[in-house]
Structure formats: structure tokens, C-alpha cells
């Protein structure tokens, strides 16, 4: 299945023109021709089957043959707020794998122990789009701008989702699959390489976040976040 991403398409369209970037990929790289079949995704759950009418390398014209809405819609909503790693490649790896496994929303959070204080959303969104296309998904995860840990917690104070925080400080904790129930909304906090500060942990607990453990091993930030995606996905099979 040749998959192309375009936010501009709508279910009532009869014809569509691919962007210059996607046209170039279709015609110059994949060498598709008139009559070839392709599939488009809009990032909102729409999967479009189309035929190439005019294989132009800058403005390929398609005719829409079939539309499937809510394609593989998820039964849950996972929002992971995670501190971006010092090595941005590790954070990009998480975004790629989380998109493939299944995640609906990501917020980079800047914590007291964070070594990276900013991220470039344009680059990160390209990683997400590539992973969405590769894994044949029709929904694009929402990547929010970076925000401080404290402000994130305040913004989510009225959110009725199940809220958990994974940290390494000793204390009574449950495992993630003991806290979550299937087909719900979840907010999960994952800290930086140096973990959350005690002040941040206290703030989260005060606001109703439940402390959880991801196992006995101490995991890297991106591994902890990816492991959480896997557990939530398995819970909602």
C-alpha cells in the first residue's frame, strides 16, 4: 500500500492534487504512473483510496474512489508528558516507536533536572508523520509545544483522565497495569534523565497523580515512555 499524508483532503472530495513534496515522492522516487492506485491519510482517521490521473512531479492529480472514515480508531486516549532527552535522537526514537505502537498526544515537559530546555516541533512532527505512514495509521498523534512541568500539571488539573507519574524515588507504588482500566483516557508523566525533583513529585501527588512503577530496572527516559505505550496498548487489545 502506497500511503501519502495530506491534511487538506476531505471525505466529500472527488479529485485531489498532491502537494509538491508528496508528488515528487510519488512520481520521481516511487515512479508511479497514471492508473496506479494509492492511498491517502488525513491524520483525522480518514483513509482514501485513489487513482492517479495525471502523474505530474509537482502536482499529481488523483481521483478519489473510496473513503473509509475512523480507520482503526483507538478505543483509548494516551497522553504522555515526557521530558525531552539531552540527545534529541533518543526523543525522536520514542516519538517514532510511540506512533507505531499507538499514542494520541505527547507534550514535552521541562523539568527542574531537564538538560534540554527546548525542542523543534517541525522536525519532530516530520518524524511522527513518517512513522504514521510507515505503520499504516490514519490518525496523527498531537504534539504539543514544550511547557514547564508545573504549568502542565496546572493545565490538566480539571482533566478527568486517569493520571499517573513514573518516578524512581522509593515509596509505595503500583504497576501501571494495576492502575489503568481499558478504554479510558490516561495522562502519564515521565521525567528527565535525572528524574523528577521531590518538589515536582509532591506537586503531582497533591494534584491526584498516582505513583507507578515500570519494573525493577531503572529505565532511560525514552525507554520508560515507550514501555508505557506498549503496556497501555496491550491493556486495550
Has residue 12 got a pLDDT over 90? yes
- Looking at the whole model, is its pTM more than 0.85? yes
Has residue 201 got a pLDDT over 90? yes
pLDDT cut 70: percent of the chain above it:
100
Spatial contact of 14 and 64, defined as CB atoms under 8 Å apart: yes
Tell me, what's the pLDDT at 61?
A: 98
Number of CB atoms found within 10 A of residue 107's CB: 19
Tell me, what's the pLDDT at 1?
A: 80
Has residue 49 got a pLDDT over 90? yes
Look up residue 72 and give its three cell numbers.
482503526
The residue-averaged pLDDT of 35-53 equals: 97
Tell me, what's the pLDDT at 2?
A: 80
Has residue 109 got a pLDDT over 90? yes
Tell me, what's the pLDDT at 233?
A: 96
Q: What pLDDT, in 10s, does the model give residues 64-102?
A: 999 999 999 999 999 999 999 999 999 999 999 999 999
Q: b/e per residue, 38-64, with b = 16+ CB within 10 A?
A: bbbbbbebbbbebebeebbeeebbbeb
Q: Which of 79, 81, 72 is nearest to 135 (CA)?
A: 72
**Per-residue confidence band for 216, with pLDDT thresholds at 50, 70 and 90:** confident
Average model confidence (pLDDT) across the chain: 96
Amino acid at each position: 500500500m502506497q500511503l501519502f499524508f495530506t491534511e487538506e483532503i476531505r471525505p466529500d472530495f472527488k479529485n485531489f492534487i498532491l502537494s509538491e513534496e508528496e508528488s515528487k515522492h510519488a512520481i520521481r522516487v516511487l515512479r508511479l504512473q497514471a492508473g496506479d492506485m494509492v492511498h491517502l491519510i488525513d491524520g483525522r482517521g480518514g483513509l482514501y483510496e485513489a487513482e492517479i490521473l495525471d502523474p505530474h512531479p509537482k502536482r499529481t492529480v488523483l481521483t478519489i474512489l473510496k473513503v473509509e472514515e475512523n480507520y482503526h480508531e483507538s478505543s483509548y486516549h494516551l497522553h504522555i508528558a515526557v521530558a525531552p532527552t539531552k540527545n534529541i535522537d533518543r526523543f525522536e526514537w520514542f516519538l517514532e516507536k510511540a506512533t507505531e505502537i499507538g499514542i494520541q498526544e505527547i507534550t514535552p515537559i521541562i523539568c527542574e533536572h531537564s538538560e534540554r530546555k527546548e525542542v523543534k516541533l517541525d522536525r519532530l512532527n516530520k518524524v511522527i508523520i513518517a512513522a504514521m505512514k510507515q505503520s499504516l495509521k490514519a490518525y496523527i498523534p498531537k504534539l504539543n509545544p514544550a511547557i514547564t512541568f508545573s504549568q502542565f500539571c496546572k493545565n490538566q488539573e480539571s482533566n478527568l483522565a486517569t493520571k499517573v507519574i513514573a518516578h524512581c524515588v522509593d515509596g509505595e507504588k503500583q504497576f501501571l497495569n494495576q492502575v489503568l482500566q481499558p478504554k479510558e483516557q490516561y495522562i502519564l508523566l515521565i521525567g528527565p534523565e535525572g528524574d523528577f525533583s521531590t518538589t515536582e513529585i509532591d506537586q503531582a501527588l497533591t494534584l491526584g497523580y498516582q505513583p507507578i512503577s515500570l519494573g525493577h530496572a531503572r529505565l532511560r527516559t525514552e525507554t520508560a515512555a515507550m514501555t508505557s505505550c506498549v503496556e497501555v496498548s496491550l491493556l486495550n487489545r
